[in-house]
Homo-oligomer: A and B are copies of this chain.
Amino acid sequence: MKAAIVTIGDEILIGQIVDTNSAWMAQNLTLAGFEVEEMQSIGDNAQQIKDTISDVFQRVDVVLMTGGLGPTKDDITKKTLCEYFDTTLVFDDAVLDNIRNVISNFTSLNELTRNQAYVPRNCTVIQNKVGTAPITWFDHKDKVLVSMPGVPHEMRYVMENEILPRLKNKYDIEAYLKRVFIVKGYTESALAMYIADFEDNLPQGFGLAYLPSLGLMKLRLFVRGEHRLPEMEAEVEKLQALLGDAIIAEEDISPEKILGVRLFEKGLTLGTAESCTGGNIAHMITSVPGSSKYFKGSVVSYANEEKVNVLHVSQENIDKYTAVSEIVATQMAKGIQQLLNVDCAIATTGIAGPDGGTEENPVGTVWICTVYKNKSITKRYQFGKYRESNIMRASNNGMLQLLEMIDNNTY
């Protein structure tokens, strides 16, 4: 079964927002066994919306649309769907009741919000329990079009609780087998050359994709059809034998989740002392639900005074070696370990850029110290010139460096 995702909104086409909905929907449709053929983003333009629907209906079975359902004049999706499916808007009391329930905690009902209870006559209306725009489901010659709000958390709730269950119910789908490996220590081309024989000898229908991430590689092995599971298992074993310890996880999981699982399993606690990463490691780690079980806290010592006063880094070392130095990184890590009384620590100090580079320490220089119980490792990394990616690379590498210490632990 083929699906297309269509996101509607002028704000997407002028680049004012990044469309994160499509990726989330694609991931969940794929897991459900649908083949996402294409994603399109188009404007709040009636003719373009109708042309796009006609067009994608020629290629796919299911069209999932988001956006253009707000209460304001620039939102025209509902009206346009009426034109496309040759129907009219009718007032729906059940939708109004739902809207009243949703907004009761926030604000009173105004006229624009009340108008959201108008829905196309010939469709299945699905109540939006987390927002005011109703979801409309159109059955159209064995095909389906669903229009849902573009607000990300509303879309997710509606997809999980309403759309995906109904789609699975309607279609009998062949599942997609997929295995993901997070691999450290290789560039894309080095990894490809190393496993070239494996790739050349994959069974018919199997695919292998390389996805470089900041400081990591993801490998995705895939094939359609549940009946190919034994072959998949055999290929996975070959890959495991080839890559060994370079595989740090066998699921599509972020470094903060891998590290979190390891810390939790081993009953270890963590603290971070962050200069150039500015709290991003703490932010990433605490984005994982349940992280309070192992993460105790962080000191973001952006200013040198804080390095000295809170983390007890020696002022003499800062004066002698600068704040971007091996000794300062090490003292930061040991300082936070002591301050929070934690088993493990990650400390970063470097030049994220775009300014502040010197000949000795150009932009992208980062010292990372990781501490595991009474051992520490401090390494110098040289990243690039982009602030955002330097912060991300330093964060990922800090977590991986600690993960490696824990995994190699023989003390």
A residues at B contact (CB < 8 Å): 10-20, 22-30, 36-44, 48, 52, 70-74, 105-107, 110-113, 130, 151-153, 178, 180, 187-190, 192-193, 199, 207-212, 218, 220, 222, 252, 272, 274, 277-283, 285-287, 289-292, 295-303, 305-306, 309-310, 339-341, 352-355, 382, 384, 386-389, 391
Contact = CB atoms under 8 A, between A and B. Distances in A.
A224 to B, nearest CB: 12
Contacts of A355: 289-290
A72 B188 contact: yes
Contacts of A20: 18
A72 B387 CA distance: 28
A82 to B, nearest CB: 21
Given A11-B211, A297-B300, 6 more contacts: A12-B26, A110-B190, A292-B303, A296-B305, A300-B300, A309-B339
By CB atoms of chain B within 10 A, which of A28, A283, A352, A387 has the most?
Answer: A283
Instruction: Describe A's contact surface by its main secondary structure.
Output: mixed
By CB atoms of chain B within 10 A, which of A16, A110, A339 has the most?
Answer: A16
A189 B113 contact: yes
A333 to B, nearest CB: 15
Which 8 pairs, one residue from A and one from B, show the smallest C-beta to C-beta distance? A278-B286, A15-B27, A279-B282, A15-B26, A279-B279, A298-B300, A39-B41, A297-B306
By CB atoms of chain B within 10 A, which of A28, A30, A302 has the most?
Answer: A302
Nearest to A115: B189
Contacts of A130: 384
A351 to B, nearest CB: 11
Contact of A110 (B189, B279, B302, B306): B189
A300 to B, nearest CB: 4
Nearest to A270: B302
13 contacts: A13-B30, A19-B19, A39-B40, A44-B209, A70-B188, A74-B210, A112-B189, A282-B282, A282-B283, A283-B283, A296-B306, A298-B302, A305-B341
A74 B209 contact: yes
Nearest to A20: B18
A108 to B, nearest CB: 10
Nearest to A311: B297
A94 B354 CA distance: 29
